[in-house]
Amino acid sequence: MAGARIRVLVCDDSVVIRRLVSEVLSSDPDIEVVGTAVNGKHALDNLERLKPDVMILDVEMPIMDGLQTLIEVRRVDRTLPIIMFSTLTERGAGATLDALERGASDYVTKPSNVASVSESMAAVRSQLIPRIKSLTGRLPRPVRTAGPANPDVFLPQAPASASSRVDIVCIGVSTGGPDALTQLIPRLPTDFPVPLIVTQHMPPVFTQLFAQRLNAKSRLKVSEATDGDAVRAGRVLIAPGDFHMRLVNCANGPVVRLDQGPQENYCRPAVDAMFRSVPTCYQGRALAVIMTGMGSDGVKGAEHIVHAGGSLIVQDEKTSVVWGMPGAAVAAGLPGVVVPLPALADTILSRVQGGRAGSARSPGSSTSRRVAG
């Protein structure tokens, strides 16, 4: 029913965490905590009765842990949004990445190094509530606020643009990103002729483990970026958690600079910070890609890239877990194309190869459409 509150089931073996999360969520008028469970078996036994819209699932629990619970839930319900609630440790990160590979919708890390209960509650509130609303479609959809009324003014795939040279691909992604990148990066060939840099919204520890996992599945070399890394063809550099990744020019070419400057869009690393730095090294020879994610991070940075003469691809709504970041680019009227995830690797490869060969053909297939359209 329209206007009904979002029904949430909280599953965690800690009574303190169950109480804290329940209090935080119940303070929001759009959310109702319909039940709590002390372990996965308890949650499964009550799933049909409670009929939650979202499940918050602890990673480590006795009797039945979060990963096994996730597997059992997915056997009967492929669409229920499940948010993993994990510790900011290597073990917690590994288990969370396992869960994302097996169908978890998103994850939140438990508060750590906080001085008070109120700070813990604020941390949980800022992370959990927006994700719950995003995954249930309760956040406002991006509304187009820029650009002329005539979409044909935007000609991102006109011959001059499609044949322009691409010397770097930069990717921004958030919610749903680990699975989306796992579908994208391994499809790129060993001889991919330009470097890729990626900002995925993730905390420390998670980015390093994710880079290692992605490297094992890919033909390109994937690693977590370190300060001073050279940006070279055949490499995929992923921004480390809690550090902005920017590019600067050095004598031997562009290199990575990491910093802990202020958060942007409530994020560090931020896509905007990375995107803004790219034209200083590559001028108009960059291809920006905005993939699934909550919020609008990347849109302002993408403006810098397209205004410098670069180009833009965004993931389509149907294949995005949350169409926040890509939808915001569409709403902003930025020139580019909208592409479904299964076609994204071929579209990027075609655009890079076509630009280097001077080809005038549009990237991708008939499944792509203009961002501004």
| CB contact at 8 A, 242 and 202 | no
Annotated catalytic residue within 134, 164, 174, 296 = 174
DSSP-derived letter for residue 185 is: G
| Selected catalytic residue, list 86, 167, 201, 368 | 201
Read off the pLDDT band of 148 (50, 70, 90): very low
Question: What's the mean pLDDT in 159-187?
Answer: 87
Do residues 288 and 167 touch, judged by C-beta distance below 8 A? no
Is 164 in contact with 357 (CB distance < 8 Å)?
A: no
Q: Which residue has 């978890």 as its token pair?
A: 104
Tens digit of each residue's pLDDT (9 = 90 or more) over 27-79: 999 999 999 999 999 999 999 999 999 999 999 999 999 999 999 999 999 99
Check pLDDT > 60 for residue 169.
yes
Q: What is the pLDDT of residue 371?
A: 63
- pLDDT tier for residue 370 given thresholds of 50, 70 and 90: low
The 3-state DSSP class for residue 209 equals helix
In the predicted model, what is the mean pLDDT of residues 271-286? 96
User: What is the mean predicted confidence (pLDDT) over 257-261?
Assistant: 98
Predicted local distance difference test score (pLDDT) of residue 119: 87
Catalytic pick among 297, 320, 350, 368: 297
pLDDT band at 156 (very low <50, low <70, confident <90, very high): very low
And the tokens for 275? Answer: 């995107």
3-state helix, strand, coil split of the chain in percent (to 5) is 40, 20, 40
Euclidean distance between CA atoms 35 and 32, whole angstroms: 9
How far are the Cα atoms of 114, 138, 328, 330 from residue 324, in angstroms, in the given order?
29, 12, 6, 10
Q: What value does the mean pLDDT take over residues 83-95? A: 89
pLDDT at 154 over 50: no
**Any idea which of 68-82, 135-149, 268-282 has the lowest mean pLDDT?**
135-149
Let me know if 12 is a catalytic residue. no
Q: Quote the pLDDT of residue 220.
A: 97
Checking DSSP bridges between strand 168-173 and strand 221-224, what pairing results, if any? unpaired
The pLDDT of 201-224, averaged and rounded, is 96
Q: What is the per-residue burial (b if ≥16 Cβ within 10 Å, else e) of 256-286? A: bbbeeeeebbebbbbbbbbbbbbbebbebbb
- H or E element in which residue 9 lies: strand 6-11
Alpha carbon distance 159, 168 (integer Å): 20
pLDDT band for position 372 (cuts 50, 70, 90): low
> What are the CA-CA distances from residue 244 to residues 61, 105, 201, 331, 352 (Å)?
34, 25, 10, 25, 26
Quote the CA–CA distance of 66 and 64 in Å, as a whole number.
Answer: 7
Q: CB of 13 within 8 A of CB of 61?
A: yes
pLDDT the model gives residue 246 = 98
pLDDT tens sequence across 298-309? 999 999 999 999
Confidence of residue 161 (pLDDT cuts 50, 70, 90): low
Selected residue with higher pLDDT from 4 and 162: 4
Residue 268 reports pLDDT greater than 60: yes
pLDDT at 112: 74
| Torsion over CA: 167, 281, 372, 159 (sign) | negative
The mean pLDDT of 310-321, rounded to a whole number, is 95
Mean pLDDT of 114-130: 86
pLDDT, the chain, mean: 88
**pLDDT tens track for 127-141:** 999 999 999 987 766
Q: Is 304 annotated as catalytic?
A: no
Q: pLDDT tens for residues 10-24?
A: 999 999 999 999 999
At 172, which amino acid appears? G
pLDDT of the residue at 223? 98
**Is the confidence at residue 1, as pLDDT, over 70?**
no
The fraction of the chain above a pLDDT of 90, given in percent, is 79
Q: Is the pLDDT of residue 359 over 60?
A: no
297 catalytic per annotation: yes
Q: Is 90 exceeded by the pLDDT of residue 142? A: no
> How far is 81 from 131, CA to CA, in rounded Å?
10
Confidence of residue 354 (pLDDT cuts 50, 70, 90): confident
